[in-house]
Structure 1
Amino acid sequence: MTLSQGTDLQVCAERLLDDIAGFAKFGERPDGGVDRIAGSPADLEGRAWLLRRVAEAGLAGSTDEIGNVFAAAPDGEDRYLLTGSHTDTVPGGGWLDGAYGVIAALEVLRTLHENRHPAARMVRMTGFFDEEGARPDSPGGLIGSTAFADSAGIAGVEAFLELHIEQGPRMETAGWDLAVVQGIVGIDRYAVTMNGSANHAGTTPMRQRADAGMAATNLAVRLRQIAAAIDPAMVVTVGFMEFVPGAPNVIPGEARLVAEFRSGSEHALDAVGSALRYAAQTVAAAERCTCDVVRISAKPVTVFDARLCRMLETALDRAGGTATRLLSYAGHDASVLAARVPTAMIFVPSTAGVSHNPKEDTPEPQLVRGAQALLESVIEYASAKVRV
């Protein structure tokens, strides 16, 4: 079997954009955002619509027990390249996060199938369930991809490709149209508890206080400097802080915060954990408090398959535009699949770096170019498979 390099094959831009917009109708909000929380009526309707679009294209659609959606050519092979993303959103999310990669994967498979390209038999599309973990009862994100990776179905997957918006400003700022994602940063979260002594806010002299709230606040202020000194590319966020008892006229006797660190270096993540503990003890002692620091979660750095990344670079060159290599600072289903099969990702820019927001957007020409890059990548993969 001979496979062309695919430069004469093009995705249908109008159909791609219409389907992205059509999928965004499920959970559509007046402000332009999308509420398609996993398991919600909008999510169920959206995945049913997706299966209808699969059937209308003459493809074979299916779902598994967890709710993941799949599509394949009717004569698809048992061993295949899987491509796609997730179908759910965060509350008040955007129209592209996850959905773009799913619809682009459908368009790629549809284009190959209708043109009777041999690569159609070697690829399958997926729309994973509950990547975001936004349901009140969700144990966390990456639910559908984790269930699939732990199922017998993973045995048929030779490799995985995920197309996604960047969800950050780097590509737009630098003028890059496409990026090969070479890995995903590790994410460590720490819960810090400061223990002081609740007392009257008016009658207790400053020098006699054991102010847990002040200790926690001082720690939060220090964290940016600590992270930057260890890894200038590290990002740190204190997204939760609570004072107990939480009254304006009571000195906090207890304060809790959660600090999250993201870095592409495991060594840097280990170092910042040690630095956090030292800083917490220092500020606690200065405020006559004690402290407790616990690492509550740790997602290791994901390094994508080097051969697959090199293949993507070749394919992205054919798709046009300016390409580069990046680390992803957001988590993705690809991190789960990477533990089981060769995996890589493609990014397109996000307008103003905005995501998880109704203003999430990417210019249409770049959405089309990204889908074309995915098509070229699938054909390149199939061609390499045949050559081997």
Structure 2
Amino acid sequence: MADLSNVRINGARLWDSLMEMAKIGATPKGGCKRLTLTDLDKQGRELFRRWCEAEGCTVKVDEMGNMFARRTGEDPSLPPVIVGSHLDTQPTGGKFDGVLGVLGALEVVRSLNDLKIKTRYPIEVANWTNEEGSRFAPAMVSSGVFAGVFTRDFAYSRVDSEGRTLGGELERIGFRGEEPVGGRHVHAYFELHIEQGPILEDENLDVGVVTHGQGQRWYEIRLTGFESHAGSTPMPRRKDALLGAARIVELVNAIGLSKAPLGVSTVGMLNPYPNSRNVIPGEVFMTCEFRHPIDATLSEMDAALKEGVEAITTKIGLTCDLKQVFYYPPVAFDPGCVEAVRRAAERFGYSHRDIVSGAGHDACYLARVAPSSMVFTPCVDGVSHNEAEDIKQEWSTAGANVLMHAVLEKAEIVS
């Protein structure tokens, strides 16, 4: 690849675009609420389309509402290098989660146009529908359909809290496109994203070179004991479901700590019944999850949970229904794409390190059908999925510079 150390994106323009998009769904605390397939999401999509068309891109929308803005290559028969992320947010989301990846990719196209750089392969900027999963579960469902993980009809049937379907909302806002979902060759895929964790900022690094995505196992646990009077039931005779849940919380935490630093574990939901101050809880519903980038280790965590829960419930006299409700295998990103990101960071002299993504991303599904990798930028205090989410302009500039050079390596400059 030619010496392109002076070929850079326009960091001020990228930042201005981020701030302009953030006005759509802006919240009083400085964040964004732009839930997928709402009227606000439609506004964001339409702004994105206008910006892409202004750069000479052809914008197509597939049956899942995924948007692809194509910059032509010298050889139109070649498959594209796709670059992107998502524009939808959490209910109390920030300005940068997902959006940085979409608008960073757009800035790559803008800068290539400014510099009159042509590539052999086409480049497509992607906006994936419903990455967050905050309105329609599961998350990343549309990139999952693209990668063959889910069927289109399964995705269309997803229902929000008000009974509206994903397919119906695509129709309502006018973004159920005619292009088939997936089934086409992709030369490479790159995604720029904020880290959503504290490592890069804590280590004062400019860029994260993402090598893996963590695997995940999610569980639902229902404990059944016997509710009785809190004052007149002797301690030895109690079958306290909440006591069992408390010990399982400790167990889940201990399992995560035993696999640190890469392993993490969380109990996210705990609902006791009947939830009365003077009744010993007779039932508890709870959730927990494990994450680790090595599948064998994730299986060890699974085994430890099952063994530990059985011991806890047997000792208290509880019955237990433990179900694994979601399994997401670890992702090893393509070594060639990872090296392209690393070389780009080194070309600019940016400080960097290899890093594992603790969150799920569209890139994790794209990795099933195309060579893929990710670029991480720091975020302030590691905060994300929060209106206080923040980054610095120089971080977004560095990340987009690395993104552009990794893309150019795969798209192949011809002039």
Which category of TM-score, normalised to the shorter sequence, fits these structures?
over 0.9
- Cα displacement string for residues 83-125 of structure 1 (whole angstroms, at most 9, x for unaligned residues): 0101100101000000000000001012112322122853111
Change (3 A) 1:249 1:120: farther
The within-5 A match list for 1:263-282 is 263-282=292-311
1:52 aligns with: 50
The within-5 A match list for 1:69-218 is 69-74=67-72, 77-78=76-77, 79-119=79-119, 122-135=122-135, 138-150=136-148, 151=180, 153-218=182-247
SS class of match (1:199): coil
- Cα displacement string for residues 227-263 of structure 1 (whole angstroms, at most 9, x for unaligned residues): 3224542111100011112211111111121111111
The within-5 A match list for 1:238-249 is 238-249=267-278
Aligned residue pairs total: 381
Whole-Å Cα distance in 1 between the matches of residues 5 and 183 of structure 2? 30
**Alignment partner of 1:261 is 2:290:** yes
Cα distance, 1:62 vs structure 2: 2.3
**Alignment partner of 1:325 is 2:354:** yes
Cα distance, 1:277 vs structure 2: 1.3
Whole-Å Cα distance in 2 between the matches of residues 120 and 22 of structure 1? 32
**Alignment partner of 1:251 is 2:280:** yes
Cα distance, 1:59 vs structure 2: 2.1
Q: Choose which of 309, 316, 321 in structure 2 pairs with 1:292.
A: 321
Is contact 1:112-1:120 (8 Å) kept? no
* Structure 2 gap ranges (5+): 149-179
Cα distance, 1:214 vs structure 2: 0.7
Moved more, 139-148 or 265-274: 139-148
1:29 aligns with: 27
Cα distance, 1:367 vs structure 2: 0.7
Is contact 1:72-1:121 (8 Å) kept? no
Is contact 2:94-2:385 (8 Å) kept? yes
Whole-Å Cα distance in 1 between the matches of residues 3 and 20 of structure 2? 31
Whole-Å Cα distance in 2 between the matches of residues 57 and 17 of structure 1? 17
Quick one: which amino acid aligns to residue 350 of structure 2? G
SS class of match (1:164): strand
1:307 aligns with: 336
SS class of match (2:310): helix
Whole-Å Cα distance in 2 between the matches of residues 126 and 285 of structure 1? 51
Is contact 1:34-1:89 (8 Å) kept? yes
Cα distance, 1:57 vs structure 2: 1.9
- Cα displacement string for residues 254-278 of structure 1 (whole angstroms, at most 9, x for unaligned residues): 1121111111111111111111111
Whole-Å Cα distance in 2 between the matches of residues 154 and 117 of structure 1? 29
Moved more, 45-54 or 67-76: 67-76
- Cα displacement string for residues 127-154 of structure 1 (whole angstroms, at most 9, x for unaligned residues): 111100111xx13111221233345644
- Cα displacement string for residues 190-223 of structure 1 (whole angstroms, at most 9, x for unaligned residues): 1122111111111111111011111111111222
* Structure 1 gap ranges (5+): none
1:64 aligns with: 62
**Alignment partner of 1:18 is 2:16:** yes
Is contact 2:82-2:126 (8 Å) kept? yes
Whole-Å Cα distance in 1 between the matches of residues 89 and 259 of structure 2? 33
SS class of match (2:232): coil
Whole-Å Cα distance in 2 between the matches of residues 230 and 21 of structure 1? 39
Quick one: which amino acid aligns to residue 226 of structure 2? S
Query: Given the two structures, how large is their TM-score scaled by the length of structure 1?
Result: 0.94
Give the superposed CA RMSD: 1.7
Whole-Å Cα distance in 2 between the matches of residues 284 and 163 of structure 1? 45
Is contact 1:7-1:376 (8 Å) kept? no
SS class of match (1:118): coil
Whole-Å Cα distance in 2 between the matches of residues 41 and 103 of structure 1? 20
Cα distance, 1:161 vs structure 2: 0.4
Quick one: which amino acid aligns to residue 149 of structure 1? A
Q: Percent identity?
A: 34
2:7 aligns with: 9
Is contact 1:186-1:264 (8 Å) kept? yes
- Cα displacement string for residues 160-214 of structure 1 (whole angstroms, at most 9, x for unaligned residues): 0001000000010111101110010001011122111111111111111011111
Is contact 2:73-2:122 (8 Å) kept? no
Cα distance, 1:74 vs structure 2: 4.8
2:154 aligns with: none
SS class of match (1:203): coil
2:264 aligns with: 235
Is contact 1:320-1:369 (8 Å) kept? no
